[in-house]
Structure 1
Amino acid sequence: MTFRNVRRQAPALLLLLSAIAAASIGVPTPAMAHPHIFVDAEFEAVGGADGYLSALRHTWRFDEVFSSSVLLDFDKNENMTLEPPELEAVAKTVSASLSKYSYYTNITVDGKTVALGKPDAIKATYVDQALTLSFSLKPSQPTPLKGLLVFRVYDPTLYTALDFANDADLQTTGEGFARCKRKVVRPGSKEILAQNQAMLTSLFFSDPTGTDYSQLVATRLEVRC
C-alpha cells in the first residue's frame, strides 16, 4: 500500500507552490484543497493495430477509510459486505460524479486535448475491506498514435489523490505502440517551480477560473510515436 506516502507528499508540494507564489507577489496564501481520498491506481493505454488509440483502462483501489464509508452508505442489508446490487449502486453513483471531471483522465496529443467518451460500464468490487473500481474509456474521435502523447490521471479538485506507486503501473500495450518510446515523469518541486515560474507569479492569483495545481504535480506518461 502507498497511501501513507501520498498523504505526506501531495499536500506539501501544493502548499509549497502556493506559498512561493504568494510571497513573490505579496498576497496572502489562499486556503488550499488537499486530498481526503487515496487511491492506488493502474492505467493502461491500448494502441490498435490500425495505429490509433483504441482504449484507456483504469483500475483504482481505494484506501480503507474511504472504502469503509462506502460500505456504511451502500450496505443496505447490513451484512458488512457489498453484494452485486449494492456494488452496482456504487458504480452508478461514482460514474455520475466522475463524468463531471472527464473521469480524472487527461490526454493531449502535441499539446491538444483529446476528448473522451463515457465508459460502457464501471465495475466495482469490495475485497479485503477495499473498494476497487475498473473501467475503460475511448477517445470520442479517431486519435492516431503520432507525435507526443501525454497521459495524466488526476483529480482537478485535489480531493482525491491517485498514486502510481511504480512506473509499471502506467502501461502502453497493443501493436499500435510497438514503434513508440515511453517514459514516466514524476515532477519534483524544483522542476515544477522552474518550468512554471511565470504562471506562479502571474496566473495563480489573477486568473478568475483558478490554476490547475493538480496537473502540475501529476505523474504523467509520455509516449512519442
Structure 2
Amino acid sequence: MTRKLAILTTLMGLMVPAAAFAHPHIFVEARLEVVAGDDGNIKELRNVWRFDEVFSSTVLLDFDKNKNLKLDPDELKAVGTTVKQSLADFDYYTNITQNGKKIDIAPPEVINVDYKDGQLLMFFAVKPATPMPLKGDMTFGVWDPTLYTSLDFATDKDIVAEGAGFKACQHKVVRPNPDEVIAQNQKTLTQAFFNDPMGTTMSKLFATRIDVTC
C-alpha cells in the first residue's frame, strides 16, 4: 500500500479493500452554500462538514501527538493538510455539471479544522477551475463516489444557492429515493458497482443535490 493510500486509510477510509461492501462507514452532517459572484459567475462553494463521533475519535487518536486528549492548533492544521492532499483526486467530493458537462474543481486554499464536543468539523471553499457563468442547467452536490462516506444534508436549508445572481434563476433541492433509483436502474446497478471501492458515476443517482436553471 502506497503512502497516499495509507493516509486515506488512516483519515478518510476511502480506498481500503474493506470498502468492497459499498455502504457508509463514515457519517457527515453537511452544509453547502453555492455562492454567485457579482461578475455573473459562480464565486465559490462553501462547505461545512461535521463528522460522527466514532470517526472523530479515531482522528483524535491518530493526530493527538502530545497525548493531551485534544487537538491543538498545529494538530488541527495537520488534519486539514492531510485531508487537502488526500481528497484532491476526488475533487473534494464536489460535483458540478453545466448543461450535462462535468466542471473541474480547483483545490481549496486551506481546509480549516476544529474539534468540538467530541466531533471533528471542517470548513473550506472550492471554486470551478475556470470561470463558470450562471447560465443553462447546472447541478451542485457533494458526495463520495465510493459510497464509503455518507454526507447528509439534514434539511433543504443545508444546501442552498446564495447571491443576487441567483434571483433570476430557478433552483430546487433534489433528494432521490433510493428504492426508486434501484428499481429504475436494475440493469446498471450490478453487483460489480456495489463492490467497486473506487466508485462509479452511478453513485450520483443516490446523492442529494441542488439543481439550478438560469
TM-score by length of 1: 0.79
1:45 to 34, 58, 80: 34
Q: How far 1:156 sits from its partner (Å)?
A: 0.7
Taking a change above 3 Å as real, the CA distance of residues 210 and 38 of structure 1, as seen in their structure-2 partners, is closer
Deviations along 1:32-89, one digit per CA (max 9) or x if unpaired, are: 3211100000001000122111101100000000000000011111111101000000
Match of 2:142 in 1: 153
1:148-187 CA deviation, whole Å, 9 max, x = no partner?
1111211111111000010000011112111111111111
Query: How many equivalent pairs are there?
Result: 192
- Give the aligned residue type for 2:75: E
- 1:173 to 2:172 alignment: no
Deviation per residue, 1:9-53 (Å, 9 max, x gap): xxxxxxxxxxxxxxxxxxxxxx63211100000001000122111
Instruction: Report matched runs for 1:6-155 at 5 Å.
Output: 32-155=21-144
Distance 1:142 1:130, change over 3 A: same
8 Å contact 2:145–2:199 — kept in the other structure? no
Pick the structure with greater CA Rg: 1
Q: CA RMSD in A?
A: 2.1
Stretches of structure 2 lacking an aligned partner (at least 5 in a row): 1-19
Matching residue of 2:6: none
Shift of 1:204: 5.3
Distance 2:110 2:93 in 1: 16
**Matched residues in 1 for 2:189 and 2:85: separation?**
33
Normalised TM-score (structure 2) = 0.83
Instruction: Spell out, residue by residue over 1:111-168, the C-alpha distance to the aligned partner (whole angstroms, 9 max, x if none).
Output: 0011110101000000111100010011111111111111121111111100001000
> 2:200 & 2:75 partners in 1: Cα distance?
37
Q: Distance in 2 between matches of 1:156 and 1:97?
A: 14
Structure 2: how far apart are the matches of 1:178 and 1:171?
13
